[in-house]
Amino acid sequence: MQLTITEDYAALSRAGADYVAALIAASPAAALVVATGNTPMGVYSALAARAAAGTLDTSRLRVFQLDAYAGLAPDDRRSLFRWTNESFLAPLGIRPDQVVLLPDDAPDPDAACRAYDAAVAAAGGFDLAILGLGPNGHLGFNEPPADPGLPTRVVRLSEESIASNAAYWGGRDAVPRAAMTCGMAQLLAARHTLLLVSGEHKRAILRRTLEGPITPDVPASFLQRAAGVTVLADRAAWPDTV
């Protein structure tokens, strides 16, 4: 695991974009799984600028959605696919046929999760997982306790995740209680992982993730023994090592 500390969020976003762009240049048909949440938005904006400038070829990528709320209506404003589309897919010029989503309006979410894992397997696994860190150590919506072998599946959101997701939608009552998440097994098998962590509020959970015991109570702690993990954190999230 490699930890890189940046001065601030802007520098984190530039460094993250450099990392992702280099990986895409080396592997133009890479399979990526991409998070929503606030942290990766700067990286995605920087990548979009490169795509617009013609210096990033996204035409052969395969992109997988990381997580989704379950049981939404087709046009629900809280669709995490919509967020992925508006922040990453559309700005980077990625076509629908390049995308595997977790359909938040699926009539049978369990079947949708099984189909997703079949698509991950058919792609040969992920070349790159771009992840954020939940305040309780979750990856995607792999809520604690989360064993490393768990597949993509339907989950109930924890109270901590409901509280943190409230910021996205204007309050706790607006947060759906059920979700689908890419499994721990699929994420931990990624050949490369970029974990993006920003802000003082992530300080304690980042320390537990990187230095605490490897435990289902901190799902992200399993990254300690995964291959190819790069952690990009800003000084606010990791103040002691600069």
Q: What is the gyration radius of the CA atoms in the chain, in angstroms?
A: 17
Asked whether the beta carbons of 2 and 241 are under 8 A apart, the reply is no
Scanning the structure block, which residue is given the tokens 């605490």? Answer: 212
Residue 136 CB, shortest distance to ligand GLP, in Å, is 9
Q: Counting contacts by CB under 6 A, is residue 161 touching ligand GLP?
A: yes
Among 67, 104, 127, 234, interactor with ligand GLP by CB under 6 A: 67
CA 9 – CA 233 distance, rounded (Å): 8
Residue 167 CB, shortest distance to ligand GLP, in Å, is 7
Residue 109 CB, shortest distance to ligand GLP, in Å, is 16
Strand, coil or helix: 67: strand
The piece of 57-65, 127-135, 184-192, 229-237 that touches ligand GLP (CB under 6 A) is 127-135
Q: Counting contacts by CB under 6 A, is residue 222 touching ligand GLP?
A: no
Q: Which residues are part of the catalytic machinery?
A: 67, 136, 138, 143
Q: Could you tell me the CA-to-CA distances from 183 to 8, 37, 77, 107, 154 in Å, in that order? A: 30, 18, 24, 20, 10
Query: Residue 21 — φ and ψ, nearest 5°?
Result: -65, -40
Q: Is 212 left (phi over 0), alpha (psi -120 to 50) or beta?
A: beta
The piece of 6-14, 31-39, 186-194, 226-234 that touches ligand GLP (CB under 6 A) is 31-39
Q: Counting contacts by CB under 6 A, is residue 16 touching ligand GLP?
A: no
Q: Could you tell me the CA-to-CA distances from 212 to 137, 143, 186, 201, 205 in Å, in that order? A: 11, 17, 22, 17, 9
Among 9, 69, 81, 141, interactor with ligand GLP by CB under 6 A: 141
Q: Counting contacts by CB under 6 A, is residue 35 touching ligand GLP?
A: yes
Q: Counting contacts by CB under 6 A, is residue 37 touching ligand GLP?
A: yes
Q: Counting contacts by CB under 6 A, is residue 143 touching ligand GLP?
A: no
Residues that bind ligand GLP (rule: CB under 6 A) add up to a total of 16
Q: Counting contacts by CB under 6 A, is residue 132 touching ligand GLP?
A: yes
Helix (H) or strand (E) holding 163: helix 159-169
CA 24 – CA 22 distance, rounded (Å): 5
The piece of 56-64, 81-89, 125-133, 184-192 that touches ligand GLP (CB under 6 A) is 125-133
Which residues of this chain interact with ligand GLP, rule CB under 6 A? 35-39, 66-67, 131-134, 140-141, 161, 164-165
